[in-house]
Amino acid sequence: MRLTDREQGGVIILEPKGKIMGGPDASLLHDKLYECIESDKKRVVIDLAQVDWMNSTGLGILISSYTTLRNHDGELKLANVTDKIQSLLTITKLVTVFEAHDSVDAAIKSFD
């Protein structure tokens, strides 16, 4: 997995790319998230458009991001969830946990 980030309208957008399967992937996203929290940037969107697939480790990373932000009075939203990831969120019932939007812009607007 590769990870880039940008800021738009006061919201941090994290853009993972490739496959999220374990190993160094977890610390990469986790470290970036804590960097955001320490900079008092607690509105975060994870844009999943360029994630080929993820396994349960990837889902664990999303849950960790969600709970970490929530525990610091922040909020996490997902954008551009692909069919493959949507299917995993559905079978694991995590679709009931995450707020997902069809685009990054829609996710950003939802913070207002």
C-alpha to C-alpha distance for 64 and 79, rounded to whole angstroms: 17
In the chain, the amino acid numbered 46 is I
60 binds another protein (CB under 8 A): yes
Q: Read off the tokens for 93.
A: 């019932």
C-alpha to C-alpha distance for 69 and 30, rounded to whole angstroms: 11
Nearer to another protein, 11 or 76 (CB): 76
Among 45, 59, 69, 81, binds another protein (CB under 8 A): 59
Applying CB under 8 A, the span of 3-11, 33-41, 72-80, 85-93 interacting with another protein comes to 85-93
Residues in contact with another protein, counted by CB under 8 A, come to a total of 26
CA geometry: angle 18, 24, 28, nearest 5 deg: 80
Q: Which positions lie near another protein, rule CB under 8 A?
A: 19, 21-24, 52-57, 59-61, 63-64, 66-67, 84, 88, 91-94, 96-97
